[in-house]
């Protein structure tokens, strides 16, 4: 890709959030799956490459590295602070616990809550991006639910 067609940091971070969400989802369904160190089988890179292939997106080496670094930072950060993140999310939920939230919404919430609290991305940006993931992967009411819960998460 030429310099005049470089993707914005905003777009690269959107891709990174998608990869982090999918890694969280994979980990939720198959614990330990993101920890395997297969020589040529990086689940983060595979997810990003599949997304780029589906959408016809071309990333430079630097853009790919930046996107994967951000995805890993989100995923590993939420995983390392999972107890704290889950506690904050449980406090924001009404009439249910995080364990009773469907797996797609739970994974989106965890990654987004981590980003709000520890990366300090503006809450409106994180919520907007979480809603996009909810539209793409969730059920009909997922976006409304995500918005209500994430709005209660403090930075």
Give the CB-side neighbour count of residue 124, counting CA atoms within 13 A: 0
Q: Identify the CATH class of 7-150.
A: mainly alpha
Per-residue pLDDT tens over the stretch 137-150? 999 889 999 999 99
151 vs 94: CA distance, rounded Å: 13
In three-state secondary structure terms, 133 is: helix
The answer, yes or no, to whether residue 38 has pLDDT greater than 80, is: no
Which helix (H) or strand (E) segment holds residue 11: the answer is: helix 9-29
Q: Whole-model pTM above 0.85?
A: yes
Average pLDDT over residues 115-136: 95
Give 53's contacts (C-beta < 8 A, 6+ positions apart): none
Sequence ranges of the domains in the chain: 7-150
Tell me the helices (H) and strands (E) count for the chain, helix number first. Answer: 7, 0
User: What are the tokens at 89?
Assistant: 């999310």
Token output for 23: 């890694």
Q: What is the mean pLDDT of the segment spanning 38-52?
A: 77
- List, for residues 89-118, the tens digit of each pLDDT value: 999 998 888 989 999 999 999 999 999 999
């Amino acid at each position: 890709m030429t310099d005049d067609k470089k993707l914005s940091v905003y777009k690269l971070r959107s891709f990174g959030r998608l990869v982090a969400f999918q890694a969280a989802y994979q980990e939720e369904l198959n614990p330990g799956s993101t920890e395997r160190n297969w020589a040529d089988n990086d689940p983060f890179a595979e997810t990003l490459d599949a997304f780029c292939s589906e959408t016809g997106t071309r990333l430079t080496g630097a853009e790919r590295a930046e996107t994967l670094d951000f995805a890993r930072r989100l995923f590993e950060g939420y995983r390392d602070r999972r107890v704290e993140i889950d506690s904050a999310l449980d406090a924001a939920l009404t009439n249910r616990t995080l364990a009773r939230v469907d797996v797609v919404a739970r994974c989106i919430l965890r990654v987004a809550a981590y980003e709000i609290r520890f990366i300090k991305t503006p809450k409106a940006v994180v919520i907007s991006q979480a809603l996009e993931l909810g539209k793409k992967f969730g059920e009909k009411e997922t976006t409304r639910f995500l918005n209500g819960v994430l709005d209660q998460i403090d930075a």
